[in-house]
Structures are given as structure tokens and as C-alpha cells.
Amino acid sequence: MFNKLDEVVNRYEELTEKLADPSIYDRQSEFRKISEERANLEELVEVYKVYKDKKNDLEEAKSILKNEKDEELRDMAKEELNELQVEMPVLEDRLKILLLPKDPLDEKDVMIEIRAGAGGDEASIFVGDVYRMYQNYIKQLGYKSELISISEGDEGIKEIIFNVTGDKVYSRFKYESGVHRVQRVPKTESQGRVHTSTITVAIMPEADDVEFELDMNDVRVDVYRSGGCGGQSVNTTDSAVRVTHIPTGTVVAIQDEKSQIKNKDKALKILRNRIYDKMVHEAQAEEAALRLGMVGRGDRSERIRTYNFPQGRLTDHRIGLTLYSLDKIIEGDMAAVVEALMAHNQAALLKGQED
């Protein structure tokens, strides 16, 4: 481990020297790449520096106990030694975690799709509840969110798509993909019976242009007249847009805006992220053996979580986590859930390295 840490420090110093060269600012792409790599190493280098300082202090305390006759100095050294013997293993564990291979997608912004599944109006209502939960959590993290598309039903929301931007957004949301199940008494239920409904959540990392470029030769664009409830015309121009990715058969239709150009831009953005997301999942599938025991992510058919309102209980089925604080979680206090998922994944990675 320590040979690897020394290599990281050498690389960090090399990157620091490159950033000290004023000419780097004329090459913005290179400057951004180097800055990001250095930033990703910074915490590890700082923790390793603290570890080495503590190790020196530990050796010095041992030396005093071995060679010093002054009882007062020996008592101070003994007290410091006891403290350091507690701190050192904690720092070592932290270094092991920081050395784990990084998910290259963790730094990315995301696009989130939430759709009603089984359960009719109750599922649509729950889409709105989960959207609000995410929005409150986004605010807590200091992230920004922008609504892209919304399809409302008679009660609640059938589908909503929005993006989230900030620092390491994907790292915080990547475990949310899958089927979310809600158990509660609907407002329309006169007998007080608990109903079960489901929604699906998809978390899609946003691709940079250099990583993935949508080939417009593979895309068919159709325009048509927007329609409202009851088949009534929303407007009298062909502003609605449907885009189809011919190789994969992926279809996106948008009619939110009165402008055909805006609807087309939105549709292409969603299409681009769906295609990129598919590519990411195919790449991750190749690592299935490596990910054995890790938290599943991205499979929309996987039931990942149950929100039981009568019992005030949230259960994440992937890691066996049960929390009786659903009232706070549904209002956006998601930190305990997200951190438990991240910790489980880190433990699985550490175990994989030990094996």
C-alpha cells in the first residue's frame, strides 16, 4: 500500500509543477484535465501526509520511552503513544478507502427520470413525492436542478425528467436507479386498506461532447401538433417533436414548449443521455464478476427500496438497511440512506482487494 501511496505523491507533485507553468492556461483542455486529476488526488495526499507525521511522532514517543529516564517526559510520551495507537489504524483504514479505484462517472452531473409504474393514480402521486424528496436533498447538498420535461396525470405526475448539476452528483445519486415501492393508504381509500404501488427511477450520467457524440445520421426527427387533455389542441402549430435513434429504437417525444426548436433540443438531450447511459450499463455488465457483492445500480427492473408509511419504515433491499425515519427521509433527509449505500460499496471493494 505504501509503495502505491508514494507513487500517488510523486504524481501529485508532478501535476503541481505542470500547473505552475503559466503557458498551461493557453491550453484550456489540458489545464482542465490536469486540474481535475490533481484535485482527485489531493485528499489522499493530505491524509498520507498526516499519517506520516503521526508515524514519526509514534516512533519518537517509543524512543523516549526506551531511552529517557525523566519520569515526566516518559509519562507524556506514554500518553501520546496511547493516543497515536488509536489514531493510526483509523488513518490506515481511511487511506485504504481513498486508494480504492474511483468510479470515473462519479464526477458527472446527472439526468433523472421518474416514472409511475403499477398502482394507477397512487403511483403518479408518489412520483411527485419522490421528486420533492430529491429536490430537497439537492438543496441540502448545494446542487442545482433544472426541470426538462413533465407529464402530468389526473392525479400526480406520470413522468418527470430533470437534470442535477454540482460536485460529484453521480456519486450521490447512482444507487437510486431501480423500482421504488410505496405502501400506504391512498386518499381515495375509504376502508383504510394499505395499497402497494411502484415507480421507476433512472439515473443517467451526462456525457461530455468528447466522450460521446450523437450521430444525427442515426436519428429520425418527426414533428406533430401538440395535444392536450381530451384530445384538444394545445396550439395550432406542429411544435411537438419525436426523435428516434434508429440503431437502438430509442424514442423520445417532447411537447412541453410552444417552440419546436426548444422541444427538439430537449428531446435530443434526453436521447443523447439515454444512449450514453445504455453504453455505460453495457460496460458495467462486463465488470459483473468484479461487482459481485456490490450495490446494484442502474437496473430499472430491480426492486431496490420500500417506503412503508403505516410503519414509518424505509427498507433498502440491496443492503438490508431498515430505518424508521421515513417522515424525515421523504422530506429530503436522505444522507443516512446514501451514506449507508456508499459504505457498503466501499466495504465490498475492500473485501475484493483482500481476496
Mean pLDDT, the chain, rounded, equals 84
Note whether 208 and 114 are same-domain residues: yes
Residue 105 counted as domain residue: no
Residue 297 in this model has a pLDDT that exceeds 60 = no
Q: What domain range is 262 assigned to?
A: 110-287+295-347
Residue 312 in this model has a pLDDT that exceeds 80 = yes
Residue 313 in this model has a pLDDT that exceeds 90 = yes
Residue 104 counted as domain residue: no
Note whether 88 and 133 are same-domain residues: no
Nearest to 337 by CA among 173, 104, 206, 181: 173
Q: Percent of the chain, pLDDT > 90?
A: 38
Residue 185 counted as domain residue: yes
Cβ 55 vs Cβ 2: under 8 Å: no
Residue 354 counted as domain residue: no
Using CA atoms, how far apart are residues 308 and 182, in angstroms rounded to an integer? 6
Note whether 216 and 311 are same-domain residues: yes
Note whether 221 and 343 are same-domain residues: yes
Q: Percent of the chain, pLDDT > 70?
A: 87
Contacts 24+ apart (CB under 8 A), 269-273: 269/111, 269/148, 270/111, 270/148, 270/149, 270/161, 271/214, 271/219, 271/243, 271/245, 272/207, 272/212, 272/214, 273/111, 273/204, 273/205, 273/206, 273/207
Note whether 217 and 330 are same-domain residues: yes
Q: Which residue has the higher pLDDT, 134 or 1?
A: 134
Give the residue from 37, 67, 98 where a domain finishes.
98
Residue 155 counted as domain residue: yes
Phi, psi of 324 (to 5 degrees): -100, 55
Number of neighbours of residue 169 by Cβ within 10 angstroms: 26
Number of structural domains (the chain) is 2
Note whether 82 and 230 are same-domain residues: no
Give the residue from 68, 98, 128 where a domain finishes.
98
Please tell me the least confidently modeled range out of 12-21, 253-262, 303-312.
Answer: 253-262
Give the residue from 75, 98, 121 where a domain finishes.
98
Residue 275 counted as domain residue: yes
Note whether 242 and 314 are same-domain residues: yes
Summarised one tens digit per residue, pLDDT across range 27-51 is 888 888 888 888 888 889 999 999 9
pLDDT number for residue 221: 85
Average pLDDT over residues 126-145: 96
Q: In the numeric block, which cell numbers belong to residue 223?
A: 414533428
Instruction: State the CATH number of the domain containing residue 272.
Output: 3.30.70.1660
Helix axes 71-98, 28-67, angle to 10 degrees: 150
Residue 355 counted as domain residue: no
Q: Cα separations (Å) of 325 from 135, 322, 329?
A: 18, 9, 6
